[in-house]
Chain A
Amino acid sequence: MSDNPLGTTRPENLLHRILDSDIFYSFIRSPVTVVSAIVAAIFFFAAAFAPWVAPHNPFDPATLDLMDAFTPPAWEADGTPNFPLGTDDQGRDILSTIIYGSRVSLIVGFSAVLFSMVIGVGLGLLAGYLSGWVETIVMRMADVQLTIPAILVALMIDGVAHILLPIHLRDEMAIYVLILAIGISDWPRYARVTRGATLVERNKEYVSAARVIGVHPVKIMLSHVLPNVMGPVLVLATIGLALAVITEATLSFLGVGVPPTQPSLGTLIRVGNNFLFSGEWWITLFPSLALVTLVLSVNLLGDWLRDALNPKLR
Chain B
Amino acid sequence: MAERSMSKLSSEPLLEVTDLAKHFDVSKPWLARKIEGAQKQILKAVDGLEFKINQGQTFSLVGESGCGKSTVAKLVVGLHKPSRGVIKFEGRNVADAHSRADSAALRRRWQMIFQDPYASLNPRWRVRDIIAEPIRVFGLVKSRDEQIDKVGALLTQVGLSPVDGEKYPHEFSGGQRQRISIARALSSNPEFLVCDEPTSALDVSVQAQILNLMKDLQKEFGLTYLFISHNLAVVYHLSDKIGVMYLGRLCEVAAAKDLFTRPQHPYTRLLLETIPDLEMTGRERVPVAGEVPNPINPPPGCAFHPRCPFANDRCRSEAPTPTERSGHIVACHAAEEGRLPDATFQAPKQPVAS
Contacts and interface: CB of A to CB of B under 8 A. Distances in A.
B112 to A, nearest CB: 5
A227 B124 CA distance: 7
Contact of A213 (B114, B137, B181): B137
B78 A212 contact: yes
A215 B78 CA distance: 13
B107 A209 contact: no
A204 B79 contact: no
A254 interface: no
Q: How large is the interface on B (under 10, 10 to 19, 20 to 34, 35 or more residues)?
A: 20 to 34
Nearest to A4: B163
Contacts of A209: 112, 114, 120, 133, 181, 184
A215 B121 contact: no
A26 interface: no
Contacts of A15: none
A227 B130 CA distance: 14
Contacts of A4: 163, 166
Nearest to A226: B124
Nearest to B129: A223
B133 A210 contact: yes
Contacts of B188: 213
Interface residues of A, number: 20
A224 B112 contact: no
Given A213-B134, A213-B188, A214-B107, A208 B163 contact: no
B124 A213 contact: no
Contacts of A1: 166
A211 interface: yes
B119 A205 contact: yes
Contacts, number: 61
With a 10 A CB-CB cut-off, give which of A204, A215, A227 has the most chain B CB atoms. A204
A126 B225 CA distance: 35
Contact of B114 (A5, A205, A214, A224): A205
Contacts of A25: none
Interface string A1-35: 10111110000000000000000000000000000
A215 B125 CA distance: 16
A228 interface: yes
A229 to B, nearest CB: 10
B24 interface: no
Interface in B46-80: 74, 77-79
B122 A228 contact: yes
B104 interface: yes
A205 B115 contact: yes
Contact of B122 (A5, A6, A7, A206): A206
Nearest to A3: B163
Given A4-B166, A204-B119, 8 more contacts: A6-B163, A205-B120, A208-B74, A208-B120, A209-B181, A215-B133, A224-B122, A227-B124
Interface of A: 1, 3-7, 204-206, 208-215, 224, 227-228
15 contacts: A4-B163, A205-B114, A205-B115, A209-B112, A209-B184, A210-B133, A212-B111, A213-B107, A213-B108, A213-B111, A213-B133, A214-B137, A224-B122, A227-B124, A228-B123
